């Protein structure tokens, strides 16, 4: 049996695909695995923020097409970069164990602190509004490109610092670049941050992929995605969600900003582990109501 895995061609995307392939190979050494890389529309357009060019779906469109056309059997994504509405023809068949979900600060090579004369770079509205609260004296400016491209911009002197996902930095082996790790209380993570998702065609026998699947990560991701989906939160929406499990109880913390505003609220609620989607909906409706109906 041969399985072709499609991936974006960035170094991080390839590493993440290889991690999934290694898990499959360890459980099924008889399976032949092939990696197919490609550049997505989201990788090609770097002069505009994602909300201006179509959102997170631009990172999966070409990979989805490869699945549907049979050129690939599986695709691997950072789950936080996937649209909140799942295509029934291309279901998520596995989610990885969660890597550290926090955000980190990276400084230019040789720098010891942020330079207030230069902007602080980030790639999402979620980070931007939280960073503006943490650093009211700093300009926060969008930065596009894969992680290594962003680091090049940083080291060229375009930014005083970058805020990135800890998970990606760890998978790239760049922990030495980290100047500060933000607690989830300082910067609430994006829904599913640190989790990889594996997609396949609906008719694909995904049995071998179970070796890469973490049921607990699936529960917290279902809860977080439900929260964001209920608020109609996408790439341009300042929304965040972070769920944890203790025993048979899920605790979900959500962030929601009012329409056209950088004012935001953070709230939490708890519920049974077997009802993650309902818990996400409950917290979302509560927080939307607090903003007078929201979206």
Q: What pLDDT is attached to residue 50?
A: 44
Q: Where are the alpha helices (DSSP H) in 172-275?
A: 215-230
**In sequence order, what are the residues at sequence separation of 6 or more whose Cβ sits closer than 8 angstroms to the Cβ of residue 24?**
3, 31, 33, 208, 209, 211, 212
CATH superfamily, region 103-181: Periplasmic binding protein-like II (3.40.190.10)
CA dihedral in degrees (229, 230, 235, 237; nearest 10)? -170
The residue ranking higher by pLDDT, 100 or 290, is 100
Reply yes or no on domain 214-295 having CATH 3.30.160.40.
yes
pLDDT at 113 over 80: yes
Among 30-34, 49-53, 66-70, 83-87, which is the least confidently predicted range? 49-53
The 8-class DSSP code of residue 87 comes to P
- Report the helix count and the strand count for the chain, using DSSP H and E: 9, 13
Q: What pLDDT is attached to residue 100?
A: 97
As a whole number of angstroms, the distance between CA 270 and CA 257 comes to 21
Q: What pLDDT is attached to residue 39?
A: 75
Q: Which three-class secondary structure state does DSSP give residue 133?
A: helix
pLDDT at 73 over 70: yes
Q: What pLDDT is attached to residue 205?
A: 95
Q: What pLDDT is attached to residue 40?
A: 66
54-81 mean pLDDT? 84
Domain ranges of the chain: 1-96+195-213, 103-181, 214-295
- What DSSP element (H or E) covers 276? helix 276-290
As a whole number of angstroms, the distance between CA 121 and CA 128 comes to 9
As a whole number of angstroms, the distance between CA 214 and CA 229 comes to 22
Are 1-96+195-213 and 103-181 in the same CATH fold? yes
**Nearest Cα to 100, choosing from 180, 184, 20, 186?**
184
Q: What pLDDT is attached to residue 48?
A: 46
DSSP helix, strand, coil percent of the chain (3-state; round to 5) = 35, 25, 40
Q: What pLDDT is attached to residue 263?
A: 87
Query: 287 is written with which tokens?
Result: 């927080």
CATH topology of domain 1-96+195-213: D-Maltodextrin-Binding Protein; domain 2 (3.40.190)
Q: What pLDDT is attached to residue 91?
A: 96
Query: 197 is written with which tokens?
Result: 């998702």
Q: Which candidate in 81, 155, 214, 274 is catalytic?
A: 81
Among 36-40, 74-78, 104-108, 266-270, which is the least confidently predicted range? 36-40
pLDDT at 180 over 50: yes
The residue ranking higher by pLDDT, 55 or 61, is 61
Give residue 292's pLDDT band: very low, low, confident or very high (50, 70, 90): low
pLDDT (tens digit per residue) in 3-57: 999 999 899 999 999 999 999 999 999 999 999 998 765 454 444 444 444 445 5
pTM score of the predicted model: 0.90
Query: 154 is written with which tokens?
Result: 């940083």
Contact predicate 165/103, CB 8 Å:
yes
pLDDT at 112 over 50: yes
pLDDT (tens digit per residue) in 150-164: 999 999 999 999 999
How many Cα atoms within 13 Å fall on the side-chain side of residue 121?
A: 23
**Sheet of strand 120-122, all strands in order from the earlier edge strand to the far edge:** 140-142, 120-122, 161-165, 103-106, 178-181
As a whole number of angstroms, the distance between CA 4 and CA 74 comes to 6
pLDDT (tens digit per residue) in 227-253: 999 998 655 668 999 999 999 999 999
As a whole number of angstroms, the distance between CA 62 and CA 71 comes to 11
pLDDT (tens digit per residue) in 195-230: 999 999 999 999 999 999 999 999 999 999 999 999
**Nearest Cα to 18, choosing from 198, 208, 238?**
198
Distances (CA, A) of 8 to 36, 63, 106, 233: 9, 8, 24, 24
Q: What pLDDT is attached to residue 58?
A: 57
pLDDT (tens digit per residue) in 120-140: 999 899 999 999 999 999 999
Question: Active-site residue 232, yes or no?
Answer: no
Pairing of strands 161-165, 178-181: unpaired
As a whole number of angstroms, the distance between CA 232 and CA 234 comes to 6
Q: What pLDDT is attached to residue 52?
A: 46
**Nearest Cα to 89, choosing from 214, 249, 223, 204?**
204
- What DSSP element (H or E) covers 253? strand 249-257
């Amino acid at each position: 049996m041969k399985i072709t895995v499609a991936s974006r061609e960035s170094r991080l995307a390839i590493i993440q695909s290889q991690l999934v392939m290694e898990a499959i190979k360890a459980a099924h050494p008889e399976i032949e695995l092939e990696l197919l890389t490609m550049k997505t529309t989201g990788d090609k357009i770097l002069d505009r923020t994602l909300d201006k060019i179509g959102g997170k779906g631009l990172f999966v469109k070409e990979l989805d097409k490869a699945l549907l056309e049979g050129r690939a059997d599986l695709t691997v994504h950072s789950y936080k970069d996937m649209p909140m509405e799942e295509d029934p023809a291309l279901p998520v068949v596995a989610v990885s164990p969660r890597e550290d979900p926090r955000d980190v600060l990276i400084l230019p090579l040789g720098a010891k602190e942020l330079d207030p004369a230069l902007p602080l770079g980030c790639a999402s509205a979620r980070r931007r509004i939280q960073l503006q609260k943490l650093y009211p004296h700093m300009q926060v400016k969008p930065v596009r490109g894969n992680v290594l491209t962003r680091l090049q911009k940083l080291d060229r002197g375009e930014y005083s610092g970058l805020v990135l996902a800890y998970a990606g930095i760890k998978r790239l082996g760049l922990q030495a670049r980290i100047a500060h790790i933000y607690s989830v209380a300082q910067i609430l993570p994006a829904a599913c941050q640190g989790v990889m998702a594996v997609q396949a065609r609906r008719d694909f026998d995904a049995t071998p992929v179970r070796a890469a699947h973490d049921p607990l990560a699936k529960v917290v991701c279902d809860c977080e995605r439900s929260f964001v989906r209920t608020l109609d939160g996408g790439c341009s929406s300042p929304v965040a969600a972070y769920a944890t499990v203790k025993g048979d109880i899920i605790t979900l913390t959500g962030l929601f900003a009012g329409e056209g505003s950088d004012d935001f609220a953070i709230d939490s609620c708890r519920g049974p582990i077997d009802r993650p989607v309902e818990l996400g909906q409950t917290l979302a409706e509560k927080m939307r109501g607090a903003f007078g109906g929201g979206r």
